[in-house]
Each structure stands twice: as structure tokens, then as C-alpha cells.
Amino acid sequence: MAWANLYPRVVQTAQNFVRGFLGSSASTLGTVVTVNSTGSPQAIFDSLAPSDLCPSFRDGNGGVEATKWSSTYLPPITARLNALVSGNLTFATSDVSIFPYLCGFESQITGQFSPWCSVFTAAELLQYEYAQDLRYYYGIGDGTDLSSKMMLPFLNSLLRLLGKGPGQMGQGKNGTFKVPDIVTAFLNDGQLTELVAATGVMGDQKPLNGSAIPAAEEWKYVASRFVSMRGTVAFERLSCSPVAEEEEEEQFACDPPRAPPSNSTEGGKETYVRILLNDAVYPVPTCQNGPGRSCALEEYTEIVGSKLGDAGDLRGRCNVSEAVRMTGNGTSGGGASFFTELGGSWLGSVVP
């Protein structure tokens, strides 16, 4: 079982994943739960795309800093390319700003490095990459206010799920079902960026500016490292206990997932969570003392809960009408109730 935001390309991606994961048995053993983010007032902050039901949500598209950077890096590239063109054709900076997309998309589609990429120098592609960082950071990511809070209810709900551990049972429309030990959800790049902001792993990134590319050691927020084709955010649940300390650093012995614990500790073991962006570990800056720079699940849950509390009444901040606000759960919705409750009218299912 997998979950997908109800957009055709997202659902198709989830279907392909389940087919690959289950093989020839996918159509009989697997299912994709579709989550229609606008399918019901009760879906407010209880979907994979909460911003879809937030009237106050705006994608800043990089804002002032992105505009400043575009006015810096694009004119020299535009002038260089125009000098190579003969005849009655002149490129504008707005044309050149989207040319690198062709490099990335054609390379992805054909499975090999596109010749178009050689139109640009390595330095120019790096400048373009930074333009994308600014676009996401100040568009819908860590550099925004409301947008960066959109996925906090989802994350808070997900952590409650992790706290209960594997082996849980959920309630479907026709009875109970076993919640997969590996929970997979498929969403759009915007929500992926909002989720990264909610995790706090970029909390030690100094605010990006449109004047110059940061030094390497100060440039942590690189959008291509998580908002790529098949970009992933993974939450690993680790059950570990300290072992004899033979070195200065504390050592841990970690078990694979098994029966669900009743709380964050069991038999002397403690539960940790580790966050990965595209398979690379991104520790939470304020909590990374666990194995593999993980964070104790109970502590991380408190961190996220505190952030959610500080975010205030998200329904109110979204300017959701009072009548609609009264239909859901609290001021921040159910978050991700659909992982264990499939009876919502905004939920459906398709065969992989």
C-alpha cells in the first residue's frame, strides 16, 4: 500500500513504485490510496497538499532575492549567447533563464547527458543552480513564513505514527488493514520543499541572498539535492541501546523494526529518528546525539510539536472561512490521519 497526492503524474509514480516493489503480484496485493487535497473541507491540513486549501498561500517564486540574482547572473550569459547567433534573432534574459531546464529535462527523459547542456559553462550552470535555490528557499521553503509551516501538521502526525512503531492496524472502509511497516507517500515538489522546511534540517542555513553565491561551507540549502526528479525525504525509525563505551563517542546497537513498543523506550532501548534527503543524512542541528546523528524520537516530536504550536492557528492564518474551519480537527487539522483511517470522503484508491 502506498499513498499519493491526487495529481495524475503523482499517482502514476506511486503505481510504478508499487509495481516495482511487489512485482507481478502488484495488481492483486497492492493498492495506491489517492488523497484529494481539495476533496472535502475535512481535508484541510489533513492531506498531502495542505496549501491547496489555504487561500492565503502564495508561492513567492524566490521573491526579491531571486529577482536580484537574476539581474546579476543572466545578462552576461544572454550577451554571450547573442554574440554566437547570426541573423534576426535576439534572446532576452527571460528566454535564457529557462534554457537550462532543457538540459535537465532532456537528460532525464533520454537517460543520457543532453548535448544542450554544453551550451552553458560549468560556472553558468552553478549560477543557475543558485537561482533555483533562491526560488525554492524564498518561494515555498525555509525563507518563507506561512509556506514553511504548511507541512507541520503532517509531520506532527507522522511522528505520532512512528512513535507507535511497526505492526499497527488501520481502519479501512471495509474493515481493518495492516499499516505497512514501510510507509510511502508521493507528493509534488512544492510539498516536498515545504516538508523539508518543516523538518528543521536546514535550520542552521544562513538566509540566502541574491548578491552572490555563498561559500561552500555556508551553502547547505541546495535544492537539487532534494527537489530533484524522484526527490525523497525519508524518516528512519531506529531502536537502539547503548553498548560498552570503548571510545570517546557513545556506541549504539540498533535493531531492525519489529513489534510495536508502547512508548519511546522498550527493554532499555530508545527510539530515534533520522532524516535523509535523497539518501543523504541531514541531521537536525539542535538534536543529533543519537546513532548516525539521529535524534531521540520523543525529543524530536517535542521539537516539531513546539514549532506547530508557535505556528498558531494555521486555519485562521490561511483565512479559511469560519464555517469550513469548524468541520475539521482543531486549528491544524488531522495532519496525516489517512495513514491509518481510510474512511475520509477525500480518499480513494487505484490498482497499481
Domain limits, the chain: 2-58+149-216+230-350, 63-137
- pLDDT value for 261: 45
| Residues 333-343: tens digit of each pLDDT | 689 999 999 99
152: region left, alpha or beta (phi > 0 left; psi from -120 to 50 alpha): alpha
| Residues 261-312: tens digit of each pLDDT | 444 555 568 999 999 999 999 999 999 999 999 999 999 999 999 999 999 9
What values do phi and psi take at 319, rounded to 5? 65, 35
Query: What is d(CA 282, CA 303) in angstroms, rounded to the nearest whole number?
Result: 16
| Residues 29-57: tens digit of each pLDDT | 999 999 999 999 999 999 999 999 999 99
Burial of 113 (0-12, 13-18, 19+ CB in 10 A): exposed
Query: What is d(CA 264, CA 270) in angstroms, rounded to the nearest whole number?
Result: 6
Helix (H) or strand (E) holding 29: helix 26-29
Q: How far is CA 294 from CA 248, 249, 281, 286, in A?
A: 18, 14, 9, 11
Nearest to 45 by CA among 266, 243, 314, 333: 333
- pLDDT value for 269: 82
- Would you identify the CATH topology of the domain 2-58+149-216+230-350? Rossmann fold (3.40.50)
- pLDDT value for 262: 42
Tell me the pLDDT of the chain (352 aa) as tens digits. Answer: 999 999 999 999 999 999 999 999 999 999 999 999 999 999 999 999 999 999 999 999 999 999 999 999 999 999 999 999 999 999 999 999 999 999 999 998 999 999 999 999 999 999 999 999 999 999 999 999 999 999 999 999 999 999 999 999 999 988 999 999 999 999 999 999 999 999 999 999 999 999 999 999 999 999 999 998 889 999 999 998 865 455 445 556 676 555 444 445 555 689 999 999 999 999 999 999 999 999 999 999 999 999 999 999 999 999 997 646 555 555 456 899 999 999 999 999 999 9
